[in-house]
Amino acid sequence: MSVERACMRHRIRDAIVSRILDGTYPPGERLKELALAKEFNVSQAPVREALRELEALHLVQTEHYRGTRVRAIDVDELRQAYELRLLLEQAAVRRALPCSSEDLRALEAETATMQRTTAPADNDEHMAAVLRFHRKLVEMSRNALFVRAWESMAWDVRVRVAIKRIGLSSVSVRQEYIQRRRKLVKALRDGDGEAAAELLVEITGKLLQRLAGMQKRAA
């Protein structure tokens, strides 16, 4: 796949995600490949690829002879994805020791960016730093399959969905998470992989509790 085609696929995917999250495409809305291809001035191939990726994320569903339609956000699937991410990142930080000074500085640089971008207007930059921080943790495991598994879950999309569904984006909450991530970096610097793994539970725990509560109310 060419770089240009991959970029277009991501552009189309992100536009559809935004429309799903803001209600432009409500659950049940049919997404027509040809119409989207004309809108973005592309062939149907990158549109089809974007829709396949969104289907893997449970945001759309394709049925024979009925086409592709928007799904209601699957809270249970989102919860399971975060549970898997937690397990993967815990395994990664345990394997990351001893950490290089370069890796630790990279994590500290991301927490500094988070601190600088706590305002709602800086949401995209803040969340990008959060994702880079957590991807770096997995990368520090020196396990290519860990990294591949983490990336395959398209966290740039899942995080947007999670924020839309449950919030957790206020300045005070972000400050709380920044402090926990700083403690995590310190634990890694001190060579304490278990403390780092426990801090990951604290970072992800509130989100998982919210998702579990939403799932119970919907049952």
Average pLDDT over residues 19-41: 94
Q: How confident is the model at residue 83 (pLDDT cuts 50, 70, 90)?
A: very high
Task: Supply the pTM of this predicted model.
Answer: 0.85
Q: How confident is the model at residue 125 (pLDDT cuts 50, 70, 90)?
A: very high
In angstroms, the CA 41 to CA 152 distance is 27
Structure tokens at 11: 């552009």
For residue 219, the model assigns a pLDDT of 61
Of all residues in the chain, the percent with pLDDT exceeding 70 is 96
Q: Map residue 62 onto helix, strand or coil.
A: strand
Partnered with residue 70 across adjacent β-strands are 60
In angstroms, the CA 211 to CA 164 distance is 12
The larger pLDDT score, comparing residue 186 to residue 72, is at: 186
For residue 128, the model assigns a pLDDT of 94
For residue 130, the model assigns a pLDDT of 96
**Is residue 188 over pLDDT 80?**
yes
| 132-174 pLDDT tens trace | 999 999 999 999 999 999 999 999 899 888 887 777 678 888 9
Which amino acid type is present at position 28?
A: G
Round the average pLDDT of the chain to a whole number and report it: 91
For residue 218, the model assigns a pLDDT of 63
Q: Please report the DSSP string for 33-51 in residue order.
A: HHHHHHHHTS-HHHHHHHH
For residue 93, the model assigns a pLDDT of 98
| 31-63 pLDDT tens trace | 999 999 999 999 999 999 999 999 999 999 998
For residue 182, the model assigns a pLDDT of 98
Show the domains of the chain with their CATH numbers. Answer: 3-70 (1.10.10.10), 75-218 (1.20.120.530)
